Amino acid sequence: MKLSIVVPIYNELENIPLLHRELTDALSPTGMSYELLFVDDGSRDASVQRLTEIAESDSHVRVLRFRRNYGQTAAMQAGLENARGDVIVTIDGDLQNDPRDIPMMVAKLDEGYDLVHGWRRHRQDAWLNRKLPSKIANRLISWSTDFPIHDLGCTLKAIRREIADELELYGQMHRFIPILAAQRGARCAEVVTHHRARQFGQTKYGITRTLQVILDLFTVKYMLDYFANPMRLFGRLAAACVGVGALSGAATLWMKWQRNIDMTGNPLLLLTIVCWLTGLQLVSMGLLGEVSARIFYQREKRRPFAIAEEISREDVGVRRAA
């Protein structure tokens, strides 16, 4: 199968039939074999019943139903794991993403990219509680991860199968799919996509999600730079604490010898002890992190690298002959 469309659904009863029709209209003319994989994230309305009816009438449709609401990241991970296509496209179930952009994004993959993610350049959302927090978060994430991106929150993405298989999403990590893929060596491209105002239902996001995004950013930054070698982070912090402690300790001794100031009442002595104890704790955390990383890679048979392909003289000869 060429294409799998993964659609997380949560209380989108009115949008489901319209989305199904738009997806069918956008994909049928392309001639590509495709499937529509709807992941119901514990909807409380009649979304499951509507999806069941559509699945009975359309052989392209498959439905995964969660026992309860686990969140969009879990629904996305389930969709990626169960998709059958060589290319996987993720799209929101609220009709704000335009399915007509899908063929364009799939064609962009053929230019040599592994992941194409959308940019809602003309976003049709409220400015205060949607656009403004999104712009702040995107700039902060782009600056801290050195990953150039305008719209990390756009669900519309096209991903090659081999890249999707290496993604492990949890928490709220679905927003960081392009960054996590780039960590694995994926070539990513951002394209402008259409965005529409919500017609039915209520949005599940608001300004309160900004704090969650920032907290997830700390996790992503750690995974990008220090996951395979935690001592690089904790060791540097420990060295900084020990350095500050050494300076405050030297200042304490100088004040004792030169000014005859009592050491026991000097706050710099307390700072010295706290800094050295903190440094010792940070080193211990670094060692525990190193052990955990080794266990993760060895026990799970994982490697901190990704091989794109293996090339030998025989392979080159076959390619030239073809």
Grade residue 54 by pLDDT with cuts at 50, 70 and 90: very high
Give the separation between CA 131 and CA 150, rounded to whole angstroms. Answer: 12
Q: Where are the domains of the chain?
A: 3-225, 231-299
User: For the whole model, what pTM was predicted?
Assistant: 0.76
Residue 207 gets which letter from DSSP? T
What average pLDDT does the segment 239-245 reach?
Answer: 95
First-to-last alpha carbon distance for the chain, in angstroms, is 24
Grade residue 167 by pLDDT with cuts at 50, 70 and 90: confident
CB 65 within 8 Å of CB 38 = no
Give the separation between CA 178 and CA 197, rounded to whole angstroms. Answer: 24
Q: What is the pLDDT of residue 248?
A: 93
Tokens of 38: 């709807």
Q: Are β-strands 115-119 and 87-90 bridged in parallel, bridged antiparallel, or unpaired?
A: unpaired
Q: Choose between 142 and 158: higher pLDDT.
A: 158
Give the separation between CA 50 and CA 209, rounded to whole angstroms. Answer: 29
* The CATH homologous superfamily of the domain defined by 3-225: Spore Coat Polysaccharide Biosynthesis Protein SpsA; Chain A (3.90.550.10)
What average pLDDT does the segment 50-72 reach?
Answer: 92
Asked if residue 181 has pLDDT above 80, the reply is: yes
Q: What is the pLDDT of residue 142?
A: 81
CB 126 within 8 Å of CB 207 = no
Q: Choose between 29 and 202: higher pLDDT.
A: 29
CB 88 within 8 Å of CB 53 = no
Asked if residue 27 has pLDDT above 80, the reply is: yes
Q: What is the pLDDT of residue 215?
A: 78
Asked if residue 310 has pLDDT above 80, the reply is: no
Range from 16-25, 56-65, 85-94, 123-132 carrying the lowest mean pLDDT: 123-132
Asked if residue 320 has pLDDT above 60, the reply is: no
Give the separation between CA 142 and CA 153, rounded to whole angstroms. Answer: 12
Q: What is the pLDDT of residue 214?
A: 76
C-alpha of 298 from chain center = 24
CB 11 within 8 Å of CB 51 = no
Q: Choose between 132 and 191: higher pLDDT.
A: 191
117 three-state secondary structure: strand
What average pLDDT does the segment 167-194 reach?
Answer: 87
CB 35 within 8 Å of CB 73 = no
Asked if residue 113 has pLDDT above 90, the reply is: yes
Q: What percent of the chain lies above the pLDDT cut of 90?
A: 45
What average pLDDT does the segment 236-251 reach?
Answer: 94
pLDDT mean across residues, the chain: 85
Asked if residue 315 has pLDDT above 60, the reply is: no
What average pLDDT does the segment 37-50 reach?
Answer: 92
Q: What is the pLDDT of residue 307?
A: 65
User: Rounded to 10 degrees, what is the CA torsion of 176, 179, 181, 187?
Assistant: 140
pLDDT in tens, 260-275: 777 777 888 899 999 9
Q: Choose between 52 and 203: higher pLDDT.
A: 52
Grade residue 208 by pLDDT with cuts at 50, 70 and 90: low
Give the separation between CA 310 and CA 287, rounded to whole angstroms. Answer: 35
